[in-house]
Each structure stands twice: as C-alpha cells, then as structure tokens.
Amino acid sequence: MEARIAAGVLLNAALEKRGGLDEALKIREVAVLSPADGAFARALAMVALRRLGELDQVLERRLKTAPPLAVRTLLRIGLAQMLYLDTPDFAAVSTAVKLAERDAKTRPYKALVNAVLRGIGRDGPGQTSPERNLPDWIAARWKAAYGEPALASLAEATRIEPATDLSARPGVDLAALAAEMEGMVLPGGTVRVGRKGDVVGWPGFAAGDWWVQDAAAAIPARALAPQPGETALDLCAAPGGKTLQLAASGATVTALDRSAPRLKRLSENLARTGLAAEVIVVPAEDWDDARTFDAVLLDAPCTATGTYRRNPEVLRATRPADVAKLADVQHRLLDAAAARVKPGGRLVYCVCSLEREEGETQAIAFLRRTPGVRTAPIDPAAVGAPAEALTTEGWLRVLPSMWPDHGGLDGFFVAAFAREE
C-alpha cells in the first residue's frame, strides 16, 4: 500500500517539473520505504510515465468527466499494475479502492475507481497507440523533423525499458565482461547488460573495471579521439562518463562543471577506476585560464529529449520555451569551447536532444560565425554509431529508435570540427 502511494507521489512530481522525480525521492512517503518497496515504487512510477498516454487513452473510454488529479493518479497506478506489471487484476483493483478509502479527497470516488478498473479487467483495455505517450507538441516537432515513419518508431520506443550499458576501462576483456553480465558487446565496445538491480554489487564495480554510460553517450568521446600525450578539455563534464573515456585514452584531461555535487560523483568514479583528470568547479564561460587544448568536448546542457527511454519524465516536464532558452546557452558555450581549441586542434559538440535547434541548427550557425573552423566528418563505424545516423554534413543524428535489434539507444546529435593550423 505505502509503495503504491509513493509511486503516485513520484509520478506526479515527475509531471510537475524537470527533475521532479529525483527530488521526490526525498519526500517522506518515498524516503521511509524499505529498499525493496522503494525500488517497486520507482519501477511502478516509471512504467506509468512511459505509458502515460496509453493509460489515459484506456481510462478516457471509461470516464464521462475528468476526475480530480488524486483520483486519476490512483487509476493510472492501478491500471499500470494491471497492464504492464503482471499484477493480478483483483489485487490491483482492491489496492486502488483501499487507497481511495484512506484519503478524504478520494473517498467519494472509491466506487468510481472500483467500477473503472474492474470494467477494464473484465472487458480488456482495447487498442492503444504509442504516439499517445508523446505530448502533442513534441510529436508535431518530431514528425516535421524526421517524418511520419520515424515518428512511429520514436513513439514505439517510449514503451521500452532500456538495458544498462557499461563502458570499460582499457585492458578489460569485453567478451568476458559481457558473459559475466549476461549481456552483449555492442559496436564500439559498449557492453549492454542483461542484469537488473543495484550496479554497486555487480562484478567489477568495486575494482573499477567499468562505469555506467549509455551506448550513445559514449560516441562523442570516441569521435574526439584524444591520443596519448595530447591535452583534452571536457566542458560541462558532470556526471563524468565522457571524462572517464578521455582519461582512459591516455590524454591529459581537464574537466569543468558548474555543479560541485555532480563533480563529486565524477571524482569518486575517477578514484574507483584509477583514472586521472584535473577537476575544476566553474562555469565553462567563466573559467579564467589561458590554456588551450588539442581536443575539446562540449556536451552542452539541453532539453535531453533524446533520453526519454531512461528518463520518460523529460517528455512531460519539458516546455516549448525550454528549447529556445537552452539553444541560447548552447550558442554561448560553443563560442567559449572554440576559444579553447589549439590551432590544428579538434572540437566535438553534442547534445542528448532530438530538437534540431539544439543540434543541426547550432552546428550550422557555429560554422558561419567561426572562421578557421570546418566540419570533420565522423565515420559511424569508427565510433560505434548506427550507420543510418550519419547526416549529409558528416554529423551524427542518433535516434532512440535505431538499433532495434539491440534494444535501441539514447538520442544524440554529435558534430566534430577541426581548427586550421
């Protein structure tokens, strides 16, 4: 019962604002749960977020008028258990009704909760469309940017719970690691794991053999390809997966970020893996240092709409105004990053966003306003990216619907540039 209340708290927090789900983990109803109940509450909230549009599509057929949010939350949580978590219908219905009885705001609706959920259990949910899991404004944008067939595939990807991906320290046997983790080695060397649960207890974690990093997130550092003896700068470095990749290359690495708490996690992972990097807490634009570098990586702040498989809340909490606001930040950071590139050096710009204003449009505008810089075309095979991600300009536009046989990957835009000697 308490875990289901907590799931509702997490669901609504995720719908209210960006980062709401993580913040809600500290709320009393969630924080007091046992580890097992807390994991169940999060799993239930996540499946409800992933399939929110479909859940509402089913409920709308049974509701003549929209109920209060607290009642809708009970219905969503109960229905998610019935349809997607293999909870017996009678148990999900009984729990939802008991929860309705516990609160004065929902008590008058307990008969409605009972009738709606029992009716769906008896008659079935009917057909649902994965496109309902996308907010209308995002669906319209993606249809315009990528076309109707791609939109259908992107919508289908909302239903998928992604596997955990690992990047390994140099010298680790990838095939052996994959076998031990019940997984597979993906193109580029990422290990996709078949396990679930807390990674701290997995083989090789304490020894620092690997770190968690989505397969798509590993592509930008491979595209930058720093060499031993070179200097590399990671701007906006936290939480640090790309910094670890740069450090593993043998380059001398400097990592910047404005967030001290997030950089603490990077420092802990550097210590755990035995890798080295200079870590500095400072906004990239404010860094008062005259150094320039052979290789510069800018993973810019963005709407993160490409991560919706792992973070379904981004689709609900992101607003249209966020795209333009963040595009302005990216413009400034790109200029700051370019100023750090040595003559003959390289710059990689990336965002985990599917919005063209944050990707292709940024790259085009950057080239136009930055003399002495040109695109350095990326070879998808060399960086472990889907072949179909290559654009005519030589950039990469990775969509979550790519690699369907492997289970997909996060959405990213990646562009590499070279400065003239």
CB of 48 within 8 A of CB of 313?
no
What gap in Å lies between CA 129 and CA 13, rounded to an integer?
Answer: 25
- The amino acid present at 176, given as its one-letter code, is A
Task: Give the residue numbers marked as catalytic.
Answer: 352
- Confirm if 130 and 155 have CB atoms less than 8 A apart: yes
CB 202 within 8 A of CB 181: yes
128, with CB counted inside 10 A (0-12, 13-18, 19+), is middle
- Listed in order, strand segments (DSSP E) in 260-411 are 278-281, 293-299, 341-351, 373-375, 396-398
Burial of 348 (0-12, 13-18, 19+ CB in 10 A): buried
The pairing of strands 341-351 and 293-299 is parallel
Residue 412: what are its φ and ψ, rounded to 5°?
Answer: -145, 155
Torsion, Cα of 196, 201, 204, 205 (10° steps): 100
**Contact between residue 206 and residue 220 where contact means Cβ atoms under 8 Å apart:** no
**In whole angstroms, what is the distance from residue 379 CA to residue 384 CA?**
9
- The answer to whether 297 touches 224, Cβ cutoff 8 Å, is yes
* C-beta of residue 219 within 8 angstroms of C-beta of residue 415: no
Furthest CA-CA distance within the chain = 75
Instruction: At 83, list the tokens.
Output: 């349809």
Q: Which pair of structure tokens corresponds to residue 189?
A: 């060397």
Closest CA to 138 of 398, 344, 320, 312: 320
Residue 345, token pair as written in the block = 């050096």
Query: Do residues 380 and 389 make contact, with C-beta atoms less than 8 angstroms apart?
Result: yes
